[in-house]
Structure 1
């Protein structure tokens, strides 16, 4: 089964970790708009793709959390101290070096995959860094909408994000250009996943890259949306599970999905979610997929089981349904 997962950060890591339990043919298509932390520093200083989310995807596919290779462990090592390397990870620096030496982020990521012994593939959604702009309400006393720029600013705003736009760095109003390999991966996939993750800064940006959006609409792959376990302050504060789907439709009205996966305990009104999923052409699948005792994290085994059920690969536990 050829699986493609789109997203970024911890949400994409959760999907990839679950998919590793189902198939070895996994491709991650990763957002490239991060402007904070180590990634933001390398992006500003070197003009390269922010490597952090790409590194996280490589780590998820390397099975580092299952006692993988020494390289997989070193790749995730973050420097401490108080010098110039403070906060940087080895993987971020290695990817930056590969991008500069090879002059091609896709070739650099493929080389990193070989180093880590990964059977899948990690691709950027665009070969150039992108900027996110958000339309936010609740920041002005008169209630007018404000525009804020940058992934960190959008993700941490005390206001309510309404919409986002995406453009190439330094070229406001420009159309972002998709990575051709990412477009081809979506078109040739058997199943494509969106979410979980920061909805406005990790999930929705893929729908705002025109070629990638068109590929998601045209692909014959089964399309699955995995919802977050809880709303995120700033980005989706106060959102119901079905509101996440409404926002998805608002940014990509032509997109249709086949399945929506959600944690049973995170859905106050299952009937509302089922209606929202049906409006997008899909069916809601509710199961216990949260990691016990770990707030806001999916359990990879449980999520893999629910994915199998949603795809009709096996019989899933149906307690409480």
Structure 2
């Protein structure tokens, strides 16, 4: 079974970890809009695709393939207060491969060979992109006033309420964001495609705003599964219900139809509302105990894998 997971950061890490319990044929399609921390510094200084979310995907694959040392090294950050302080080893390695090979996809494939993983990591776009959000609640005199803010960090940390996002190519490019051809082919050739969990406005929805990738998600014959977050995120989705997450997804991609929505039953106070929201996307909601019982806000990979098997089995049936 060929599975494709779209997202970024810790949310994508959770999906990949669960998927490797179901199939070895897994491709990660990763957001490339990060502009903070080590990734932001490398992006600004070198003009490269930000490597941080890509690094997280490599770490997930390496840990599941028995390369725990590589996973730890990739995630290791230098301390101190010098030029390397805060940089992750994996970010620097990927940045070096990007510069030497001149092609992010070739660089990522070479990194996969280097650490010996069987999964594939691809960017959603071969160029760094920028997120812009429409936000309310930033003006104390007029809480309904809409303000536009740019940058993933600014959007993720806004004290206002994010209403809608758009995605932009590098400065000066008068065209829509470009999709990664290999990522588009992976989606079209997949048996199952996953969206989420993760930062809804900055890791999940951006994939739907790359026109070529959006079209592939609409056209693919793969089963499409949305995995919801366990808790709302301060700033991005504060106060969001589970069904509101789906409504926002539909607002950004009204042509998209989904087959299943996976959610943690203890995180959904209104199951009937979630079933109705899933139905508007053409999907069935699957509620299970998928939260880690020890670490709050984290999915349990074995439980999530069980829900994934159920979703795929029902689709095939």
TM bucket, shorter chain: over 0.9
In 2, Cα distance between the equivalents of 1:233 and 1:239? Answer: 10
- 2:93 corresponds to: 94
The DSSP-based 3-state class of the residue aligned with 1:63 is helix
In 2, Cα distance between the equivalents of 1:213 and 1:200? Answer: 15
The DSSP-based 3-state class of the residue aligned with 2:183 is helix
- 2:239 corresponds to: 238
- 1:259 corresponds to: 260
* Cα displacement (A) at 1:295: 1.4
- 2:199 corresponds to: 198
- 2:297 corresponds to: 296
- 2:127 corresponds to: 128
- 1:318 corresponds to: none
In 2, Cα distance between the equivalents of 1:263 and 1:77? Answer: 31
Is 1:167–1:173's contact at 8 Å kept on the other side of the alignment?
Answer: no
CA displacement 1:252-305 (0-9 Å, x = unmatched): 000000000000000001011011111110100000000112111100011001
- 1:117 corresponds to: 116
The DSSP-based 3-state class of the residue aligned with 1:82 is coil
In 1, Cα distance between the equivalents of 2:7 and 2:188? Answer: 17
In 1, Cα distance between the equivalents of 2:145 and 2:93? Answer: 44
Is 2:168–2:176's contact at 8 Å kept on the other side of the alignment?
Answer: yes
Is 2:60–2:71's contact at 8 Å kept on the other side of the alignment?
Answer: no
- 1:149 corresponds to: 150
Is 1:69–1:116's contact at 8 Å kept on the other side of the alignment?
Answer: no
The DSSP-based 3-state class of the residue aligned with 2:134 is strand
- 1:103 corresponds to: 102
In 2, Cα distance between the equivalents of 1:57 and 1:282? Answer: 27
CA displacement 1:2-28 (0-9 Å, x = unmatched): 000000000000000000111110000
CA displacement 1:49-71 (0-9 Å, x = unmatched): 0000000001111126x852533
In 2, Cα distance between the equivalents of 1:116 and 1:292? Answer: 31
Is 2:278–2:285's contact at 8 Å kept on the other side of the alignment?
Answer: yes
RMSD: 1.4
In 2, Cα distance between the equivalents of 1:173 and 1:269? Answer: 44
- 2:22 corresponds to: 22
Instruction: Give the 3 Å change call, closer, same or farther, for CA 71–256 of structure 1 in structure 2.
Output: same
Is 1:5–1:194's contact at 8 Å kept on the other side of the alignment?
Answer: yes
1:309 matches 2:278: no
In 2, Cα distance between the equivalents of 1:36 and 1:273? Answer: 33
In 2, Cα distance between the equivalents of 1:233 and 1:148? Answer: 16
* Cα displacement (A) at 1:73: 2.5
Q: Structure 2, unaligned stretches of length 5 or more?
A: none
1:59 matches 2:53: no
In 2, Cα distance between the equivalents of 1:72 and 1:273? Answer: 36
Instruction: Give the 3 Å change call, closer, same or farther, for CA 111–172 of structure 1 in structure 2.
Output: closer
Taking structure 1 as the reference length, the TM-score comes to 0.95
In 2, Cα distance between the equivalents of 1:232 and 1:307? Answer: 23
In 2, Cα distance between the equivalents of 1:291 and 1:313? Answer: 24
The DSSP-based 3-state class of the residue aligned with 1:35 is coil
Aligned residues: 313
1:208 matches 2:176: no
